[in-house]
Amino acid sequence: MSRSIASILLVIAIALGVWAGMVVFLFLTGTFGVPA
Amino acid sequence: MGSTTGRPPGVPLDGLIKAMIGYAGMAMCLTLVYLSMRAVMDIGGACADGGPYVVARSCPQGTTITLLGGIFGGILFVFIAALGGAEVGGIWSGAPLIGWAALFGALGWNFLDYGVFNAPAETGIDGGLAICGVLFWIMAAGGLVALVPLARDAPSRLRTSGTVAALPGRGQPARRPIVISTSGSPVTVSRDGHTATVSTAVVDGELPVELRGELEQLGRTLAQARASGETEASRDELARIAADFGAAIGTAMAETPMAAITGNTGSSSGSSAATVPVTGAPPASAPPAGAPPATSGTQTSPQPAFTEGTQALLDRLERLADMRDRGLLGPEEYETAKTAIMAELEGRT
């Protein structure tokens, strides 16, 4: 697999990680699904 | 300038998976820390839970576990990302530096956001938060600066730099041999404290990252030697080492068993060690840096009708000719490697 494809996959993984962090935070702080 | 070796450097799948898990975890933990810090700053910047004291301001629900989980989880995932990133190479091998810059950049932004950009109108800019924010951003910038050499060391530069092709001091024998020991696959190449492992990436048509890195470093050293006007003897010594590595790579490429392609492990099992005769003498007809790759009589145009294994052998022949043309392989090393590959080709037909 080429380095460029690997880099794209890693950027996608980082984006998913950020999204997962937001979901986990909202879930643990009890604000998941609650409108601000 | 110079020729290309065809495809870009390969990234092992297991290393990529480790890097993806590590970097995704890093991002997740960093997000947890970032959001937790904002939640605490929303209530004034300080809070407490538990302990024998009267708590003036409790922490927002869940922020204790998100903050601790983010910190310790982040350390764990940075470790995983560093392991995987080392196999991906380039800037991705700097996971701790990336994590450092992202952490201090994100937290610095929080300080500046709450203390400067969105400071309460009644209190104005908070000098303490502003100083913290600036300091954090300076620390983040330090991590980014440290990443620059990693980005510049991307292995793809080897294909275009051509520095290795301009080796001086041809025609002189090496003082020490290169020892290549094989135990099926991978193949380990060692000389004068330099050791590199040729994995099945070679069989897949790529130069391994380790050897590519060694060659890149060698090219830079030679370029510096030329620029700084070092003595002819020093350049000759560097050229001998360069030729040795070129020969080792060529031999390793020829000896790496094709079983890795087909999944058959029977043909190259067993351990052996061979001392490769090294002349360190690239051909006198090697083109200068910047010259287009010479057409070799042994090169074979890839045909789409070939099987995967045959195509890999043909690709290997092309790379060998390319390395010979660039002066990385001597005539003897080239012929030895070519003969081995041709024998495999004949065996396949």
pLDDT tens-place string over residues B270-298: 333 333 333 333 333 333 333 333 333 33
ipTM of this predicted structure: 0.89
Statement: residue A21 has pLDDT above 80? yes
What integer pLDDT is reported at residue B195 of this predicted model?
Answer: 55
Residue B40, both tokens: 């605490």
Task: Give the chain A residue nearest B207 (alpha carbons).
Answer: A2
- Please give the model's pTM, rounded to 2 decimal places: 0.49
Query: Residue B165 contacts by C-beta under 8 Å, 6 or more apart in sequence?
Result: B2, B3, B286, B287, B288, B289, B326, B327, B328
Residue of B nearest to A4 (CA): B8
Question: Is A23 in CB contact (< 8 Å) with chain B?
Answer: no
Residue A32 region by backbone torsions, left for phi larger than 0, else alpha for psi between -120 and 50, else beta: beta
Taking CB atoms and an 8 Å limit, are A22 and B30 in contact across chains?
no
Q: Which two tokens stand for residue B217?
A: 């470093």
Question: Within an 8 Å CB–CB cutoff, is residue A3 touching chain B?
Answer: yes
Beta-ladder partners of B276: B178
Of A4, A6, A30, the CB nearest to B62: A30
Is the Cβ of B60 closer than 8 Å to some Cβ of chain A? yes
> Is pLDDT above 70 for B15?
yes
| CB of B37 closer than 8 Å to CB of B29 | no
Distance from CA of A32 to the nearest CA of B (A): 12
Tens digits of residue pLDDT in B95-154: 999 999 999 999 999 999 988 888 877 888 888 889 999 999 999 999 999 888 877 755
pLDDT in the model for residue B105: 95
Residue A27: alpha-carbon gap to chain centroid: 14
CB contact under 8 A, B65 and A18: no
pLDDT mean across residues, chain B = 67
| B contacts of A22 (beta carbons < 8 Å) | 31, 35
As given in the structure block, the two tokens for residue B170 are 């041809």
Structure tokens belonging to residue B245: 């590595």
Give the confidence band of B155 by pLDDT, cuts at 50, 70, 90: very low
- Substitution target in B4, B17, B20 with the highest count of A β-carbons within 10 Å is B20
B151 Cβ partners below 8 Å, 6+ apart?
Answer: B90, B91
